[in-house]
Amino acid sequence: MNGAREYAGLVLTGQYGRLYCTSGEHARGRTFHIQVLPEDEKAISNGPGNMCVNRDAIEVYGAIGGQPGWTEYYG
């Protein structure tokens, strides 16, 4: 989707230091999210291609508008 396409192909889903990146896609395009984890915490995955479910993780990049699955845009 708009804003996710540029990054989704660059980084695979996984934990990189304190960052947890989720790269995926759906019928309308690519998706990409970045979450920051608390120091010394490992990501708890909610399944393949899903964002981590850690209670104190903060999303710093992801869908910020539009209709999810159709017209979302990222920032």
18 in any annotated domain: yes
pLDDT at 53: 92
**Which residue in the block uniquely carries the two structure tokens 């947890």?**
20
Half-sphere exposure of 51 (CA within 13 A, CB side): 18
In a domain, 75, yes or no: no
Ranges of residues in the chain whose predicted pLDDT is under 50: none
**Which residue range(s) make up the domain with 35?**
5-65
Tell whether 71 is covered by a domain.
Answer: no
Number of domain units in the chain: 1
Token readout for 44 is 């708890």
pTM for the full predicted model: 0.85
C-alpha distance from residue 58 to each of 2, 32, 52, 53, 73 (Å): 21, 14, 10, 10, 18
pLDDT value of residue 1: 55
